[in-house]
């Protein structure tokens, strides 16, 4: 359990000047900024990052309410020092020296909207914030959460290209919530299936009491959602969200009905939350959890931990598209390797074709926004 010293005693652990990688053996205290920190995602994400022992300094930036959020979070007795920044004039101070910048700034969906309907407003917000990153912390790793991610990541890339600071290894679209949902829904489906089998066996009198108890404790099914990993590739909207259920780890087999049900459920997870919140926004708590999980993976990579692999929407050559979500290995320089998609079954190959068509348009829209 790593515990950084107080900020006053922290040795300088920013990225090495002139290098794109972090120094080997540097102290495990990272400087993290959240842009959009007063929002539905920003606040619980700030709380979770304040609890992360790899974080020594946490900058909370927003155009509203950061003094209150910062005062509140700063009372948590964890190692990270918290500072608040309010409004555009304070963006420079919020960003200078940061190792990781997380961007959840922007408006969320209301029922009936697609993520692409957010483009008009969020594209400009992401552009402005990324211009700040290019100026004030060009070597930082950037995690883009603001929707539509399929377009906002290409927007960020174009901003960085224009500024001459673009490093594709350092720009990552956050699709972790799709993986988190997939892992949860797969376990629910298997557990429901297991309980259904148990019920049938119990009624037919062919099950022993001990087997029944083991099943109920999950020991026969043996599944905790945290131990399940479903790769989710493509992008982060509708059919571009493509769970690879043939590659679930630990290996599980599903009927074609289960595959079709699970795929739709995972693709519509965001919309289900938007409808349940009935106008009060989209996923914030599960998203903060997912964003904190992904940010932690980026920090562990920077710290030099081995074998840190997460799915993310990044500049990629695994398909003919310039951006694509797939498994990436994270390291001291950001993305160290983009893993291949692995074998896809027929259902997944068909899904991939649909996903690519929509993704191509969203990428083009983002690129055109900056170059128009």
Pick one of ligand LMR, ligand NAD, none as the site partner of residue 244 (Cβ within 5 to 8 A by kind): none
**Structural contact between residues 133 and 170, judged by C-beta atoms closer than 8 angstroms:** no
Each residue of 271-284: b (16+ CB within 10 Å) or e?
A: bebbeebeeebbbb
> Per CB under 6 A, does 236 bind ligand NAD?
yes
Least Å from the CB of residue 44 to ligand LMR: 14
> Per CB under 6 A, does 348 bind ligand NAD?
no
Task: Scan residues 264-283 and list those touching ligand NAD (CB under 6 A).
Answer: 281-283
Three-state DSSP class for residue 139: coil
Give the one residue of 91, 95, 101, 177 binding ligand LMR; rule: CB under 6 A: 177
> Per CB under 6 A, does 283 bind ligand LMR?
yes
> Per CB under 6 A, does 300 bind ligand LMR?
no
Nearer to ligand LMR, 38 or 147 (CB): 147
**DSSP 8-state secondary structure symbol assigned to residue 148:** -
Pick one of ligand NAD, ligand LMR, none as the site partner of residue 81 (Cβ within 5 to 8 A by kind): none
Least Å from the CB of residue 323 to ligand NAD: 14
Give the one residue of 55, 125, 155, 273 binding ligand LMR; rule: CB under 6 A: 273
The whole-angstrom separation of Cα 292 and Cα 147 is: 17
59 an active-site residue?
A: no
Of 124, 105, 110, 200, which Cα lies nearest the Cα of 369? 124
Task: Scan residues 137-156 and list those touching ligand LMR (CB under 6 A).
Answer: 147
Give the one residue of 109, 139, 265, 327 binding ligand LMR; rule: CB under 6 A: 109
Q: Cβ of 39: how many Cβ atoms within 10 Å? A: 25
With a CB cutoff of 8 Å and minimum separation 6, the contacts of 60 are: 33, 34, 37, 38, 42, 46, 66, 69, 70, 73, 82, 83, 84, 85, 94
Say which residue the tokens 């900024």 belong to.
33
> Per CB under 6 A, does 64 bind ligand NAD?
yes
**What DSSP letter does each residue of 294-352 carry, written as one string?**
HHHHHHHHHHT-S-EEEEEEEE--SSSSSEEEEEEEEETTEEEEEPP-----HHHHHHH
Least Å from the CB of residue 318 to ligand LMR: 22
Q: Which residues would be at the binding site for ligand LMR (CB under 6 A)?
A: 108-109, 115, 147, 177, 236, 269-271, 273-274, 282-283
Q: Which residues would be at the binding site for ligand NAD (CB under 6 A)?
A: 35-36, 38-42, 62-64, 104-109, 118, 122, 125, 128-129, 145-147, 149, 174, 177, 236, 281-284, 287
User: Where in the sequence numbering do the catalytic residues fall?
Assistant: 236
């Amino acid at each position: 359990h790593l515990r950084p010293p107080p900020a006053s005693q922290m040795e300088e652990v920013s990225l090495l000047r002139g290098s794109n990688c972090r120094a080997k053996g540097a102290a495990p205290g990272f400087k993290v900024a959240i842009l959009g920190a007063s929002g539905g995602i920003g606040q619980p994400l700030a709380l979770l990052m304040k609890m992360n022992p790899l974080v020594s300094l946490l900058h909370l930036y927003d155009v509203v309410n950061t003094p209150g959020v910062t005062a509140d979070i700063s009372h948590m007795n964890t190692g990270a020092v918290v500072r608040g920044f309010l409004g555009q004039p304070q963006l420079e101070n919020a960003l200078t020296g940061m190792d990781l910048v997380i961007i959840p700034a922007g408006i969320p969906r209301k029922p009936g909207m697609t993520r692409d309907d957010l483009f008009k407003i969020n594209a400009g917000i992401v552009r402005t914030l990324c211009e700040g990153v290019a100026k004030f912390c060009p070597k930082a790793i950037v995690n883009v959460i603001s929707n539509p991610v399929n377009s906002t990541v290409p927007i960020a890339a174009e901003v960085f290209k224009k500024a001459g600071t673009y490093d594709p290894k350092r720009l990552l679209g956050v699709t972790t919530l799709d993986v988190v949902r997939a892992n949860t829904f797969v376990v629910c489906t298997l557990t429901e299936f297991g309980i259904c089998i148990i019920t049938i066996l119990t009624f037919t009198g062919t099950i022993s009491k001990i087997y029944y108890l083991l099943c109920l404790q999950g020991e026969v099914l043996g599944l905790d959602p945290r131990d399940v990993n479903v790769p989710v590739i493509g992008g982060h909207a509708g059919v571009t969200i493509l769970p690879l259920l043939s590659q679930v780890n630990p290996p599980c087999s599903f009927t074609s009905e289960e595959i079709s049900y699970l795929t739709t459920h995972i693709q519509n997870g965001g919309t289900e939350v938007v409808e349940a919140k009935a106008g009060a926004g989209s996923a914030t708590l599960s998203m903060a959890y997912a964003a904190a999980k992904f940010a932690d993976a980026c920090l562990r990579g920077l710290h030099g931990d081995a074998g840190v692999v997460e799915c993310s929407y990044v500049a990629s050559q695994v398909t003919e598209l310039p951006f694509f979500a797939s498994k990436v290995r994270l390291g001291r320089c950001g993305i160290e390797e983009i893993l291949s998609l692995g074998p896809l079954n027929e259902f997944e190959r068909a899904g991939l074709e649909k996903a690519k068509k929509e993704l191509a348009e969203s990428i083009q829209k983002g690129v055109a926004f900056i170059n128009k």
